[in-house]
Amino acid sequence: MFIDNFMPSIDEADLKDGTMKMVNVSGKDILLARIGNEVFGVSNICPCRGCDLSKGKLEGYIVSCPCHDWKFDVRTGVYLKTNKKVLTIYRCKIENGKIHIEIF
């Protein structure tokens, strides 16, 4: 039998389109960003100096860090300036009214 690693987190209704929120699942701080009916998950700590990305700004698929304005694509974890993946990405899905996050 196949068992996946998706864990339930917050209710879908608690994350509106165009907003983001930090959740803690299995001891990991994960930034969830919702765009339309898709939810993207990335590590919440900015690799620059460790600021809380959930306190930043979301514009389209791009989250800006509140501290020094580094910008990341929530779909890929890529830092736009260098085009390198620097954030851990977590696959998310919406099921039975909840957002589920793949934990590894």
84-85 and 78-79 as β-strands: parallel, antiparallel, unpaired? antiparallel
Residue owning tokens 């996946």: 4
The answer to whether 42 contacts ligand FES (rule: CB under 6 A) is: no
Q: Which stretch binds ligand FES (CB under 6 A): 11-19, 21-29, 63-71, 92-100?
A: 63-71
The answer to whether 31 contacts ligand FES (rule: CB under 6 A) is: no
Q: What are the b/e assignments for 79-101, b being 16+ CB within 10 Å? A: beeeeeeebebbebeeeeebbbb
Q: Which stretch binds ligand FES (CB under 6 A): 14-22, 32-40, 45-53, 87-95?
A: 45-53
Q: Binding residues for ligand FES, per CB under 6 A?
A: 46, 48-49, 51, 65, 67-68, 70
